[in-house]
Amino acid sequence: MSILILALLVTLLLFLLYYHWQRRHLYILASKLSGPLALPIVGNGLTFMCRSEDILKTISDIQRRYPKPIRFWFGPVLTVLFSAPQHIEKILTSSKLAYKHDFYSILQIFIGDGLVSNLESILGTKIDAQLGRNMEYVQATADTYQIGYKRIMRPWLHPDIIYNCTSGKKQQDHVVKVTTTFVKEAIDTARSRIKKRKNAENGQTTAIIDQIGELIEKDRESMTDVDFLYHMYTLYLASEDTMTVITAILCVCLGMYPEYQKKASEEIREVFGETPRDVTYHDITKLQYLDMCVRDVLRLIPIAPFIVRKAIEDFHIDNWTIPKECAIFVSIFDVHRDPEHWDNPNHFHPDHFLPEVVTKRHPYAYVPFSAGPRGCVGKILAFIGLKLIMANILQRFEIEADGKFSDIVLRSDITVRSQSGYRVRLKKRMWR
């Protein structure tokens, strides 16, 4: 019996030696970089044993304490954090680093292999949340971010065998059921519309779900029903949350900084006159100052504050060799607040995007939609949609809000949002 135990111990020891030898390049890199103290097995996991709303602050605090790039361990996964524009450029434009890290596989539970754009234009279905309809679906889409982010940032919850024993698994199953049921119904409705149009031969549609549905009808091999469902939910999820949060924050910022609202409203008055009317695409192209306002809000709350890529082979960045299987963590949130590139990093300041200022700044100091081969496909539509919404609001209302942007406590759950809501006062606009 003692011989068997000894043999098992020797086998285990040999396995551990082989395991760590295979990972020696990770350890070598980690020894050359600064970062918080890591413990065996859990790494820096205990650092993230905090409330979900505090994780954004935790990561920012780590960046202030250590010279960059910074290393930390998500359990056994070595992660190297970069936030310098010259490094971000190399990472986002490299085809070798165009692979999402395995952390994102957690989100596949909700969106499958979907793509990652206003609400009705995606699904061709009126959500009418403002009227209290479809609230179970609306809440489920909000929970998707929170549940997925909470699990991603807690490495001990990554294994299914552990996560399936937690209350989060029950919440996850409920969200998946609600969202997939809603999108399936939207797809069925879209296919019914397509058939009616085909029979009547009358006109085209603007809903993305109809356009893709028509392509699938012509070529059934182009996409499976499961892929269709996940693509539609991903597009909806990305656009709905993005448009909602950025519009809300932009309203707050214009209320907090009336000098910038005055410039934006004067531009609105020049383009539309003093009587509110519908906004055309031609109008949107004239709203250059409003465009600067949108861009600075996207600086303050980028679509994704962090991006995580996986090295599929060794990759060189300046003096560092990033070994295969290393996780590369790009902190968009912090490069957007680097005082080296921004005059007023913690305040709403549209003048950051004056043409003469933009030309002096490194282009990768501003990447709200990521960049390179995995850049956001909805970037142009997002800008158009945001300017369209704000043009309609500013034609009709003056916005008031208290404080300054630095007073807003932010949190992160895939995207960035306020912890305390979006408090504004609207007054009917009376042109003076």
Q: Which residues are annotated as a binding site for heme?
A: 376
C-alpha distances in angstroms, 416 versus 146, 171, 311? 11, 22, 26
In the DSSP assignment, the letter for residue 344 is: S
Q: Which residues pair with 73 in a beta bridge?
A: 78
SS3 for 176-188 is HHHHHHHHHHHHH
Instruction: Please state the φ and ψ torsions of residue 235, each to the nearest 5 degrees.
Output: -60, -45
The CA distance from 220 to 186, in Å, is 19
The CA distance from 256 to 293, in Å, is 13
C-alpha distances in angstroms, 189 versus 183, 222, 396, 430? 10, 20, 35, 43
Q: Write out the binding residues.
A: 376
Start-end of H helices in 107-224: 108-111, 119-123, 135-152, 160-163, 167-200, 208-218
Write out the two tokens for 240. Answer: 């709905």
Burial classification of residue 365, based on how many CB atoms lie within 10 Å of its CB (0-12 exposed, 13-18 middle, 19 or more buried): buried
Dump the DSSP string for 61-87.
Answer: HHHHHSPSSEEEEETTEEEEEE--HHH
Amino acid at 431: W
Write out the two tokens for 6. Answer: 């000894």
Q: Which residues pair with 310 in a beta bridge?
A: 327
- Identify the H or E element spanning 38: none
- Identify the H or E element spanning 257: none
Write out the two tokens for 209. Answer: 């779900």
The CA distance from 316 to 323, in Å, is 9
- Identify the H or E element spanning 17: helix 2-22
The CA distance from 168 to 271, in Å, is 50
Percent helix, percent strand, percent coil in the chain, to nearest 5? 60, 10, 30
Residues 6+ apart with CB under 8 A from 145: 241, 413, 414, 415
Instruction: Please state the φ and ψ torsions of residue 430, each to the nearest 5 degrees.
Output: -120, 105
